[in-house]
């Protein structure tokens, strides 16, 4: 007879100490969803997978079309009274979201998603490097003290994980706000963050150029690959 280990509730896991808590947090039960957009909600989409519809909170539901086939990397949050799924098209969005939730005390999934709605993930990374409190406080529910704590907690992680991305601004000389506009435009066309960063680096110096010009040049560069 096979003995099965019973599932533990979040409260039971917490009582077993930090190792059990870390194991639980690092083992998402639903890590990826591939299906069809069935409905758009105010802050989420319903993804139909077979005969089951999953409600997935996303950065911008308006970017999805009903009937569209999607693949979302998901972050599964389990609470005492409910479970929530947060879905991301871009790996960078997922990584920044996970860093916020897992490494900043007091920042939950809703706050992390609110920050990503206020600014692209690449701009949040740059804000951490610059210790830009103002950008973070532009997100609903983020006060100055919370913003300062987020910047301090994430700084060593950003410097370690995202050095390649941070080098783009230094190599191009472009303003961070211009780069953010360019990245958002290219991402809306289906390009990944890796493709965008590589293209901007290869374009070289872009100081004093508009976002429209950079998007046009980047598209020409990407189309040749």
Two tokens, residue 157? 């992680």
**Which pLDDT tens digit goes with each residue over 60-79?**
999 899 999 999 999 999 88
d(CA 46, CA 105): 30
Whole-number average pLDDT of the chain? 79
Judge whether residue 193 has pLDDT over 70: no
8 A C-beta contact, residue 139 and residue 118: yes
Q: Rounded CA gap, 49 and 69, in Å?
A: 10
| Cβ-Cβ contacts under 8 Å for 142 (sequence gap 6 or more) | 111, 114, 115, 136, 150
CA dihedral angle for residue 117, residue 121, residue 123, residue 124, rounded to 10 degrees: 80
pLDDT of 99 reads: 92
Q: Which residues pair with 48 in a beta bridge?
A: 36, 53
Tokens 């040749």 -> residue: 224
CA 124, 96, 116: angle at the middle one, nearest 5? 55
| Residue 24 confidence (pLDDT) | 43
**Residue 58 pLDDT grade (very low, low, confident, very high; cuts 50, 70, 90):** very high
pLDDT digits (tens, 9 = 90+) for 81-112: 889 999 998 888 898 999 999 999 989 999 99
| Run of H or E residues at 161 | helix 144-161
Return the ∠ at Cα 133 (arms to 188 and 105), rounded to 5°.
90
Q: Which of these, 47, 56, 53, lies nearest to 83 by C-alpha position?
A: 56
Q: Residue 65: how many CB atoms within 10 A of its CB?
A: 10
The pTM is what? 0.66
Confidence category of residue 218, pLDDT binned at 50, 70, 90: confident
Tokens encoding 26: 């690092």
What is the Cα–Cα distance from 133 to 193, expressed in whole angstroms? 24
Delineate the domains of the chain, giving CATH numbers in brackets: 8-89 (2.40.50.140), 91-161 (1.10.150.20), 165-223 (no CATH)
């Amino acid at each position: 007879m096979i003995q099965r280990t019973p599932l533990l509730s979040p409260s039971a896991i917490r009582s077993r100490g930090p190792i059990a808590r870390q194991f639980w947090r690092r083992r998402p039960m639903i890590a990826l969803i591939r299906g069809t957009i069935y409905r758009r909600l105010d802050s989420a989409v319903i993804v139909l997978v077979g005969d089951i519809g999953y409600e997935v909170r996303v950065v911008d539901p308006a970017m999805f079309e009903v009937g569209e086939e999607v693949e979302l990397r998901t972050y599964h949050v389990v609470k005492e009274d409910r479970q929530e799924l947060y879905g991301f098209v871009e790996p960078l969005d997922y990584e920044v979201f996970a860093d916020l939730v897992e490494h900043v005390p007091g920042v939950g999934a809703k706050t992390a998603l609110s920050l990503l709605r206020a600014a692209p993930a690449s701009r949040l990374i740059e804000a951490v490097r610059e210790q830009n409190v103002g950008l973070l406080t532009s997100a609903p529910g983020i006060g100055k003290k919370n913003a300062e704590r987020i910047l301090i907690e994430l700084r060593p992680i950003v410097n370690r994980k995202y050095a390649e991305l941070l080098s783009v601004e230094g190599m191009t000389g472009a303003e961070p706000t211009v780069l953010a506009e360019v990245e958002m435009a290219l991402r809306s066309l289906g390009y990944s963050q890796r493709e965008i960063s590589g293209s901007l680096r290869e374009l070289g110096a872009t100081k004093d150029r508009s976002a429209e010009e950079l998007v046009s040049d980047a598209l020409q560069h990407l189309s040749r690959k």
